[in-house]
Structure 1
Amino acid sequence: MRWTLKPKPDSEKVKSLSSALRVEPIIALLLVQRGVKTFEEAQKFFRPSLEDLHDPYLMKDMDKAVWRIEKAIAEGENIMVYGDYDVDGTTSVALLSSFLKSYYPDVSTYIPDRYDEGYGISYKGIDFAHDNDFTLIIALDCGIKAIDKVAYASKKNIDFIICDHHRPGSEIPKAVAVLDPKRDDCKYPYKELCGCGVGFKLIQALAEKRGLQINDLLPYLDLVATAIGADIVPITGENRVLAFYGLKVINSYPRTGFKAILNQIKKETLTITDVVFIIAPRINAAGRMKHGNHAVTLLTETDSEKAEMYAAEIETYNTDRREADKRITEEALQQIIENKEEEKMTTVVYQEDWHKGVIGIVASRLTETYYRPTLVFTKSGERLAASARSVKDFDVYNALESCSEHIEQFGGHKYAAGLTLLEEDFEKFKAAFERVVSETIEPRLLSPEISIDAEINLNDITPKFYRILKQFGPFGPGNMTPTFMTQNLMDTGFGKCVGKDELHLRVVVKQGNSNQFTGIGFGMADKSDIACNGKPFKAVYSIDENEWQGNVSLQLRLKDIRE
């Protein structure tokens, strides 16, 4: 692993902020690294306020979207709320449909079938809308590239409003309104909203029309926070405010569906990490293993008994998902070894019977193993479908764009994308993808990086220091959990490998005359020779709390150690 110590920010700025806030210089340094340089900025950082959310009408086409929805309601039209089958899509649909239904009954939801219709807006969905007298479709978390499908709907007298956050192509669909902060001609101040975040801006604008206040929309923020966590968008700016209040809702007044999920797993206070690893996989499991409709049904259910029943079903889907994920990952790893592809710049694997619903998870696992831009393909009807995942600082979307002559359709982000292609183009695409990545990726990006915020001593770690660190949350891209490096650590003689298969490393360390701290390194048993040989070593870690038999103590969550 590469250890990269972040450059020290301007010492005068750190000193000035430390004095203004009356905090230790290390706290001020961490804040300046995150772009927080004044007392006022620190106040906004530590005390996020809903008043800091931007005016939704700053988003291009927002006025047109609100006008068209109001017209549909005034004229009694049927409205379809359409969204993708992943967490961002299903939470978006639950958010907008439940808001509209709170004052207008003729609203229905539609989630495309992952296997029959694929990603995004489908002709089948439009035909369904036409056959059932829907004249307005509001698409969430998809649609920015659906040029032909929006035109097809228009011929059937169906209007579209698109709420997306993916990068547009060279042409924008001819919809009534296209809300996407990543449009070149959109001057919205914050560009990193997820699909559910764009949906929230729409209900914020609609709520203003109806004389509602921002606090009236608080109950919807549990959905937004979940989408922010699951879609791995930066937790900065507006997203940080939305995630902060969304977590408060999840932990204080969760919607009935969330409460039913939480009852399944018996966890009390959730962080954004818990949302990503506990709630999001369960919501996702519905679309992966069965149908995304199940997730929307759970998220909009208000009857607790029904919600418990739906949550139990989704728990079953999640168990099935875990089993499929484990099996396919093992098969993919075996394929890489047999084909002797470990030395390539990319990882591209294919097996026609792999479950389409879990190839994205498998791609993430392979990326963790080989740390290469990764594609996992499976058969999907007459074509091959793939999920792509990338490594830090490499844009896999751009790489796919460079191979577009071999691809039928693709979309996504810098670090995650999806594509389909014809089976006869697979080998040509595979060769092109390897060539493009080889020519454009910097060699250093092919080994994982640990980004270190600062070097500190163990004596710097106090309960007060940790209390302030906790207030830096919610953590995520753009505001990661602070990571530290400490040198000259010595094991006090209690270091050992622990866990069922002794895969983890537990040490009790000191630095000179400092207090002792327990450190735990998951999957780091192979480092025991360095840590437990009586010689000094250095470690990279974050700080968290360990609760044991009712006692809570600070511990070092080890990320790596070196002699």
Structure 2
Amino acid sequence: MRWTLKTEPPKEKVKALQEALQVDAITAKLLVHRGVDNYEDAKRFFRPSLEDLHDPFLMKDMDRAVARIEKAIANKENILVYGDYDVDGTTSVALMSSYLKTKHNLVYTYIPNRYDEGYGISYKGINFALENDFSLIIALDCGIKSVDKVAHAKTLGIDFIICDHHRPGDEIPDAAAVLDPKREDCNYPFKELCGCGVGFKLIQALASKEGKTAEDLTEYLDLVATAIGADIVPIDGENRVLAYFGLIVINTNPRSGIKAILDQVEKTTLTITDVVFIVAPRINAAGRMKHGNYAVTLLSEEEPDMAKKYAAEINEYNLDRRETDKRITEEALKQIEEQKEQNRLTTVVFNEDWHKGVIGIVASRLIETYYRPTLVFTKSGNKLAASARSVKGFDIYNALGNCKEHIEQFGGHKYAAGLTLEPENYEAFKKAFEDEVSKTIDRDLLTPEIKIDAQIDLDDITPKFHRILKQFAPFGPSNMTPVFLSENVMDTGYGKCVGADKTHLRLTATQPESATKIVCIGFGLGKKINKITDGKLFRAAYSIDENEWNGNISLQLKLRDIKKQK
């Protein structure tokens, strides 16, 4: 692991913030690192308000989208709400359809089949709309690159409203409205909404026509918070406000579908991390193993008993998904070893029998072993389809763009993308991708990095300090859980490897001449036990956590890494 201590922020800014907020220097430093350097910013950071959300009509085409939906409702048109099969897509469809059904009884949903339609808008979906007399399709979390398909739909008398957050191509589709804050001609102040976030802005705009505010739409924010967590978008600006209030809904009054998922696990208060690891995988499992419609049905269901039934089915899909991705990961690792490709700068693996629904998860798992840009291919019809995942700091979307002569189509983000290509182009693409990454990647990025917010002593870790840190949540990109460094740490003598396979490290840490003793747990750090034995001094990188045991809550350190003291 590469440890990077963040640059010290300007002392005068830290001191001014300390005085304005009456907080300690460490807290002030953490805030300045997050772009919070005055009282008003701090107030917005610690006390998010729905009033801080931007006017939805600042988004390009929002007025056109609202007008087209109002026309559809007035003319009693059939409206098809169309979205992708992942968490962002299915939550978006549940949000938009459930809101529109309160205004109009001719609203239906469509999720493309991952296996015979693939990602985004499909001709099959457009044909379904034509055959069933739909004159308006609202596409969520997809569509920004579907220029030809939107044009085709228009010739059939079908209008599209696109609500997307992916990067546009060279041409914007000729739709009734295209909502995407990443459009170059869109001046919307916040660019990092997820697809469900863009959908929320549309219902916010529709509701405002009736004199309603975001306060009146809080019941939809459990869906938005789930999408924000699952889609790994930055949790600052509007996303912070939406995630903050969405978590309150999840923890106090979630919709029946989410409550049914939470009833399956013993967890009292959920953080955004819990949403990512508990709620999101179950929603995702429907689209991965069966069909995304199951997720929409669960998330739209109002009757608790039916929601429990749907959640139980989806839990079974999730268990299948776990077994499948574990097996494929093992096969992929074996392929890398057999082909002697450990020394490449990229991982590109292929097996025509691998389950298309889990190759994205497998790509992420492979990065845990070989930390480098990774693509996992499988057969999809008569093409090859891949999920791409990247390492922190490297834009895999751009890298794929520079290999596009070998690719049929691709889309996605900086760190996650998908693509298809002809089987005969696989080897040429694999070489081109390795060459592109070799030319452009900073070699340091191939070593996992721990970004450290501040160096502190163990004596600084008090219940009061931790109470303030908890108010930095929700955590995520652009507002990660603070990580600290302490020097000259030592074990009190009882450190040991724990866990069924003894891969984790547990110890009680102190420092010379300090009365503080604090329990530490280091997941996956069991192999480093020799660094702490026999009274050796070591350096620790960690976050501060709570441990709940037999009803008692105590502070503990979650070790990210340890190194020998210099």
Could you say which TM-score interval applies, normalised by the shorter chain?
A: over 0.9
Secondary structure of 1:532's aligned partner: coil
- 1:519 corresponds to 2:532: no
- For residues 245-394 of structure 1, the aligned pairs below 5 Å read 245-394=245-394
- For residues 46-125 of structure 1, the aligned pairs below 5 Å read 46-125=46-125
Q: Which residue of 1 aligns with 2:418?
A: 418
Quote the offset at 1:103 in angstroms. 1.6
Q: Which residue of 1 aligns with 2:407?
A: 407
Distance 1:396 1:175 in 2: 29
Quote the offset at 1:514 in angstroms. 3.2
Distance 2:551 2:248 in 1: 25
Residues 51-103 of structure 1: CA distance to partner in whole angstroms, max 9, x if unpaired? 00000000000000000000000001000000000000000000000000012
CA RMSD of aligned residues (A): 0.5
Secondary structure of 2:263's aligned partner: helix
Q: Which residue of 1 aligns with 2:509?
A: 509
Q: What residue identity is the alignment partner of 1:290? A: K
Distance 1:456 1:540 in 2: 10
Q: What residue identity is the alignment partner of 2:516? A: N
Q: What residue identity is the alignment partner of 2:549? A: W
Distance 2:290 2:325 in 1: 15
Distance 1:400 1:536 in 2: 46
Q: Which residue of 1 aligns with 2:144?
A: 144
Distance 2:562 2:534 in 1: 13
Distance 1:126 1:552 in 2: 55
Secondary structure of 2:121's aligned partner: coil
Quote the offset at 1:359 in angstroms. 0.1
- For residues 353-502 of structure 1, the aligned pairs below 5 Å read 353-502=353-502
Identity of aligned residues (%): 71
Q: Which residue of 2 aligns with 1:35?
A: 35
Distance 2:349 2:213 in 1: 51
Quote the offset at 1:212 in angstroms. 1.6
Distance 2:365 2:210 in 1: 47
Q: What residue identity is the alignment partner of 2:374? A: T
Distance 2:404 2:230 in 1: 27
Quote the offset at 1:549 in angstroms. 2.1
Secondary structure of 1:264's aligned partner: coil
Residues 6-60 of structure 1: CA distance to partner in whole angstroms, max 9, x if unpaired? 0000001001101110010100000000000001110000000000000000000
Partners of 1:410 and 1:420 within 8 A in 2? yes
Quote the offset at 1:550 in angstroms. 2.3
Q: Which runs of 5+ in 1 are unaligned?
A: none
Q: Which residue of 2 aligns with 1:185?
A: 185
Quote the offset at 1:386 in angstroms. 0.1
Distance 2:305 2:35 in 1: 47
Residues 344-397 of structure 1: CA distance to partner in whole angstroms, max 9, x if unpaired? 000000000000000000000111211100000000000000000000010000
**What is the TM-score normalised by the length of structure 1?**
1.00
Quote the offset at 1:268 in angstroms. 1.7
Hey, which bits of structure 1, 4+ residues long, moved more than 2 A?
none
Q: What residue identity is the alignment partner of 1:115? A: Y
Distance 1:212 1:103 in 2: 14
Quote the offset at 1:215 in angstroms. 1.1
Distance 1:529 1:550 in 2: 33
Q: Which residue of 1 aligns with 2:532?
A: 531
Secondary structure of 1:7's aligned partner: coil
Tell me the matched-pair count.
563
Partners of 1:56 and 1:202 within 8 A in 2? yes
Residues 191-246 of structure 1: CA distance to partner in whole angstroms, max 9, x if unpaired? 00000000000000000012222211000000000000000000000000000000
Secondary structure of 1:265's aligned partner: coil
Secondary structure of 1:353's aligned partner: coil
Distance 1:117 1:224 in 2: 26
Q: What residue identity is the alignment partner of 2:539? A: K
Distance 1:404 1:214 in 2: 42
Partners of 1:496 and 1:532 within 8 A in 2? no
Quote the offset at 1:533 in angstroms. 2.9
Q: What residue identity is the alignment partner of 1:130? A: L
Q: Which residue of 1 aligns with 2:551?
A: 550
**What is the TM-score normalised by the length of structure 2?**
0.99
Q: What residue identity is the alignment partner of 1:131? A: E
Q: Which residue of 2 aligns with 1:244?
A: 244
Distance 1:241 1:554 in 2: 27
Partners of 1:240 and 1:474 within 8 A in 2? yes
Residues 459-516 of structure 1: CA distance to partner in whole angstroms, max 9, x if unpaired? 1000000000000000000000000000001111010001111110001111122310
Quote the offset at 1:264 in angstroms. 1.2
Q: Which runs of 5+ in 2 are unaligned?
A: none
Residues 278-317 of structure 1: CA distance to partner in whole angstroms, max 9, x if unpaired? 0000000000000000000000000111100000000000
Secondary structure of 1:71's aligned partner: helix
Partners of 1:458 and 1:514 within 8 A in 2? no
Residues 321-363 of structure 1: CA distance to partner in whole angstroms, max 9, x if unpaired? 0000000000000000000101000000000000000000000
Distance 1:229 1:531 in 2: 36
